[in-house]
Structure 1
Amino acid sequence: MAQASMPAPPSRFFARPPALPVGARPTRPGGNLEVVSLGKLSSNLERLLLHSEFDCSDAEIVVEGAPVGVHRCILAARSRFFHDLFSGAGAGAGGGCRQEGGKPRYEMSELVPHGRVGREAFMNFLSYLYTGKLKPAPPEVSVCVDPMCAHDACRPAITFVVELLYASSVFQIPELVSLLQRRLLNFVEKALVEDVIPILLVAVHSQLNQLLSHCIKRVARSDLDNISLEKELPHEVAEEIKSIRLKAQPDEPNSLIVDPVHEKRIRRIHRALDSDDVELVKLLLSESDITLDDANATHYAAAYCDSKVVAELLELGSSNVNLKNHRGYTPLHLAAMRREPAIIVSLLTKGASASETTSDGQSAVMICRRLTRAKDYNTKTQQCQESNKDRICIDILEREMRRNPMAVEDSVTSPLLADDLQMKLLYLENRVAFARLFFPAEAKVAMEIAQAETTSELRGLLTSRSSSNLREVDLNETPTMQNKRLRSRVDALVKTVELGRRYFPHCSQVLDKFLEEDLHDLFYLQKGTPDEQKIKRMRFCELKEDVRKAFNQDKADSVRSGLSSSSSSSSSLKGDTRAFQGCNEVVELLWYMYYR
């Protein structure tokens, strides 16, 4: 019997798949779907944190006095610490909670007893747990208010990463700990030695030996005195630093010899100040030939004592309030580092000079600005609400500088301050020069508004020359004239950078990454081994892609915000396209010029 023939399937079942574009590679089936699905899952989980309409939290963690809603199932699945805490196994380790409105409530200060985790850092940490992505640091808490700071190693930038590392370490997220440890390693050499202290402390509490060793070596090389080591560091760490210093000077024993009697009397004065006993200080001074200045007692009190003790000590009238210690700091500089308004006012009342600068050219107000977060400075104080101490300190010192303008004029003639301005100006010149290379249209707009002339650095990359070249020296120019010129130039470039950050945020992020990671070495692709040159070429391609994405993002944001009218949108779009094509051609030209 003949087998019945099956009807022929439609011809479309055997149609050839569409041809791939030239140069395209076939993707693994389902690969794109997985990426899209993971991206949607990440964004959907993030909405649980960001949008109140999706609030279905079942617990709260109080950070800086305000509760943050969390979902115990997510935290327990991502962190062993939270798993034990919510199951009751971690209740004996500072993990107790109380019920508030039916939800368990935990205090951050109890969960992280050895360090501080601020609200922004904790929200950044939660975002990573929920989405698997680490967001950039919010500028308002990772940028200081010094307009001439590069923000690559100032105290707010360090503090944010330190807080994030405390959270990651205590809550047992090892991959995040490893990433943040590498970031802090980059900070150690750039930062002031005072700003290395919080990094060292988090390394101790988190048992990060590599980071701890790096910090110890950095502090040992510095001029931080033994009293500061003993007051601010764990005993074992302070002793190790002293031991390293002794081993580093085996052939200079005379430099280490101190009079034990003299040292003992100074220590007694410091201990009396620690006990808030100024009467005892007077007695110790009368019984010996030690003076307050010999003991740097005013420096010590400004750094470590209560404001009332400082005021009582100044009433003795036997100390020089503008005396510089061996590090070049006056008591006012130390009070500015501490950011205690009452101590600053007491010193100023007794004749402390706000215009005195440290050995690296920083005045007290510059120190305060470098330590103050943008959030704390810019937050408006409501009626009957306590003002932020950091803002008060800056306002007091700025008012004092304005009250005595001649002192300000004298202070800017310091050659050390001129060198400091040169370094800041060099950074700004380079940043704006690269902005002109990558984003010529945007840079031109920002520079025109800021009234900044063309940049003078990177002459190997730019064909333009400027009369403000840092290498040109006018022998007839006085130090005061030079500093006025440098400050004027710095102000114009700072305004250019600020305008760029405000109106072209994505482009500015590309420049931040480019400068922070020293990617400008990519322009010298002919240097290095063949493998290094290959890596540079790959990173150069990544840079071009970052430039393209940033340009398109800023352009899309501009269109969405309605910055251009509908009648001119077509011509504006054509202008944007030409600007990007010109930018891309510059990058390609540089690549060819330095690699050929």
Structure 2
Amino acid sequence: MPNATEPSSTISFASSSYLSNCSSAYYAPVAAPSPPVRPAAPDGGTNLEVLSLSKLSSNLERLLVDTEFDCTDAEIMVEGAPVGVHRCILAARSRFFRELFSRGGSGGAPREGKPRFDMDELVPGGRVGREAFMVFLSYLYTGKLKPAPQDVSICVDRFCAHDACPPAIGFAVELMYASSVFQIVELVSLLQRRLLNFVEKALVEDVIPILQVASHSKLNQLLSHCVQRVARSDLDDIALEKKLPQEVADEIRSLRRTSQPKESNVTVDPVHEKRIKRIHRALDSDDVELVKLLLNESGVNLDDTYALHYAAAYCDSKVIAELLDLGSANVNLKNDKGYTPLHVAAMRREPKVIVSLLTKGASALETAADGQNAVRICRRLTRAKDYFTRTEQGQESNKNKLCIDILEREMRRNPMVGEDAVTSPLLADDLHMKLLYLENRVAFARLFFPAEAKVAMEIAHADTTSEFTGLPKSRSSSNLRDVDLNETPVVQNKRLRSRVDALTKTVELGRRYFPNCSQVLDKFLEDDLPDLFYLQKGNPDEQKIKKLRFCELKEDVKKAFSKDKAGSLLSGLSSLSSSSSSPKD
């Protein structure tokens, strides 16, 4: 583990005494200030006011979660199931609901005299799921924003740090739609900061939902960041046209034209481009016969137009099957981004398209430029809820899980399958980002409950792998002593993957045995820790505020630890805990 006196790209702590003593050497040179104290009333009115507000928040939350006595007076249908609400509370907190309820009537047939409204009609496209709506309601009732439920905010890719994967982004986007449409300004502001943090971390394809909600909600700052991010990327014009509002797509194209150097003007054959667009329009019309006619007349072929990629992304599965039957397309052809048609189908998560490609020889082992194969792409897009929820007999299987199962079965058919075969340098960079997050998260876990974290690391064999301290110095300097000339890309990938596996298992053990503590860590890392040097950055006043926030975190950890210790899941590790497990005052 890193020495506290040595520079490192991760945060390391020697003992839990740093947490209990905010004036220790760790916080030098600026001592943490005492929290501001409001003058108390002679009768202790300030404390009574805080206690009363806290009790009011808890009592209102019971109205939302208590199923023994239902006193709701309206229902909102979300994903086909009713959610009971109290119109007086929603009307008091939201002008949108006040105007909706004042108009009278209901969006559907009332049940037991309760008016019923449909989320599909309240929010464009019904873009707010049940879990996101329940968290939103909890905020309206209590004034507190709960952490995102893990089953809908993390993916099932075991190499993912879950700090900017599609489920995490998707949940925040759903909350933003609810907050914007229902006009909760303070929550919009909070979520906009969270989404801004996602924009630079996420893959450009995953920025599209953020851009869409920013455009819909007229969040100019967030929209500007998304536009700049997409304009710098290699996202193709077809995706811009299909997924973005016309004015936003035009702005991105304009930015790209102005940012290109004059000497790098790429000559484009307008006739060739026109032929490609005509074939794509024929595919949009599901007219494969017209595609054949255009191919014969134009002199281009399916590979020239990336027809399989286009159909895998946007067309019906029958169109894919008919194109494949023509037998003139390379089913494993890679486009400019390194994606095969199967990679594109995995992003779409349509089982029929995936099966059609596999039966015609598509390879599940092919990797994209970032080192991901089709099953990893699909896993990264799939929520834990969709993958692990048990399907009852006769119930339709979740498409995401079905796609993963199909691809994994295909990979098991090939004895050469193995992630060690991937040697892309971009994959190593991706692992660097994941490792930096995991190392930092485990370092905080070791600070808050060192004995338990040590046990989890030993079980996961994290102590037998070498710690990752950031990008090699050789990338930014010429010091050859820092370079291991005997380490090939394959060996480096094995070393990085071994550390990722160990730290990922450590975090998973933490989530299992310390779920409440893990939620506190998740929220802190998501909201308050934009980078690894959080406490060292900023002017002295900013550092004081940050360190004060870190000290206040002790109380949250203590409460969470008490809840975890009272739970049955801790029984397996309780005998191994030490007196330093719970942070001291």
Tell me the TM-score range normalised by the shorter chain: 0.7 to 0.9
Structure 2 CA distance for aligned equivalents of residues 116 and 219 of structure 1: 22
Question: What amino acid does structure 1 have at the position aligned with 2:188?
Answer: V
Question: 1:279: how far off?
Answer: 0.7
Question: 1:295: how far off?
Answer: 0.6
Superposed CA offset, 1:206-249 (max 9, x none): 11122111111111111011111111111111111111111112
1:44 is aligned to 2:59: yes
Question: 1:184: how far off?
Answer: 1.1
Contact 1:430 1:457 in 2 (8 A): no
2:141 aligned residue:
130
Question: What amino acid does structure 2 have at the position aligned with 1:535?
Answer: E
Please provide the CA RMSD for this pair.
2.7
Aligned length: 536
Contact 2:119 2:126 in 1 (8 A): no
Alignment of 1:181-580 (within 5 A): 181-249=192-260, 251-252=262-263, 254-255=265-266, 257-408=267-418, 411-453=421-463, 456-457=466-467, 475-516=485-526, 517-518=529-530, 520-522=532-534, 524=536, 532-547=539-554, 549-551=556-558, 553-559=560-566, 561=568, 576-580=578-582
Contact 1:377 1:388 in 2 (8 A): yes
Contact 1:302 1:331 in 2 (8 A): yes
Question: What amino acid does structure 2 have at the position aligned with 1:73?
Answer: C
Q: Bigger shift: 305-314 or 211-220? A: 211-220
Structure 1 CA distance for aligned equivalents of residues 555 and 141 of structure 2: 29
Contact 1:514 1:520 in 2 (8 A): no
Question: 1:484: how far off?
Answer: 3.4
2:72 aligned residue:
57
Question: 1:405: how far off?
Answer: 3.1
Question: What amino acid does structure 1 have at the position aligned with 2:143?
Answer: G
Contact 1:555 1:576 in 2 (8 A): no
Give TM-score scaled by structure 1 length. 0.84
Structure 1 CA distance for aligned equivalents of residues 261 and 424 of structure 2: 36
Give TM-score scaled by structure 2 length. 0.85
| Secondary structure of residue in 1 paired with 2:533 | helix
Contact 1:339 1:390 in 2 (8 A): yes
Structure 2 CA distance for aligned equivalents of residues 203 and 423 of structure 1: 26
Which residue, 25, 33, 55 being the options, matches 2:48? 33
Higher-RCO chain (CA-CA 8 Å, sequence separation at least 6): 2
Question: What amino acid does structure 1 have at the position aligned with 2:565?
Answer: S
Alignment of 1:87-126 (within 5 A): 87-88=102-103, 96-114=107-125, 116-126=127-137
Query: Per the alignment, do residues 180 and 578 of structure 1 end up closer, same or farther by CA in structure 2, a change over 3 Å counting?
Result: closer
Q: Bigger shift: 42-51 or 538-547? A: 538-547
Query: Per the alignment, do residues 577 and 171 of structure 1 end up closer, same or farther by CA in structure 2, a change over 3 Å counting?
Result: same
| Secondary structure of residue in 2 paired with 1:62 | strand
Superposed CA offset, 1:141-172 (max 9, x none): 11111111111111111111111111111111
Bigger Rg over Cα:
1
Structure 2 CA distance for aligned equivalents of residues 377 and 181 of structure 1: 29
Contact 1:433 1:455 in 2 (8 A): no
Structure 2 CA distance for aligned equivalents of residues 410 and 504 of structure 1: 32
Percent identity (aligned): 73
Question: 1:417: how far off?
Answer: 2.6
Structure 2 CA distance for aligned equivalents of residues 250 and 84 of structure 1: 53
Structure 2 CA distance for aligned equivalents of residues 556 and 71 of structure 1: 30
Question: 1:433: how far off?
Answer: 3.3
| Secondary structure of residue in 1 paired with 2:252 | helix
Structure 2 CA distance for aligned equivalents of residues 25 and 162 of structure 1: 37
Query: Per the alignment, do residues 52 and 176 of structure 1 end up closer, same or farther by CA in structure 2, a change over 3 Å counting?
Result: same
Structure 1 CA distance for aligned equivalents of residues 115 and 432 of structure 2: 55
Question: 1:551: how far off?
Answer: 4.0
| Secondary structure of residue in 2 paired with 1:453 | helix
Structure 2 CA distance for aligned equivalents of residues 518 and 30 of structure 1: 38
Structure 2 CA distance for aligned equivalents of residues 259 and 127 of structure 1: 56
Structure 2 CA distance for aligned equivalents of residues 240 and 376 of structure 1: 36
Contact 1:357 1:364 in 2 (8 A): yes
| Secondary structure of residue in 2 paired with 1:55 | coil
Question: 1:26: how far off?
Answer: 6.3
Contact 1:115 1:163 in 2 (8 A): no
Question: 1:535: how far off?
Answer: 2.8
Structure 1 CA distance for aligned equivalents of residues 264 and 430 of structure 2: 34
Structure 2 CA distance for aligned equivalents of residues 206 and 295 of structure 1: 36
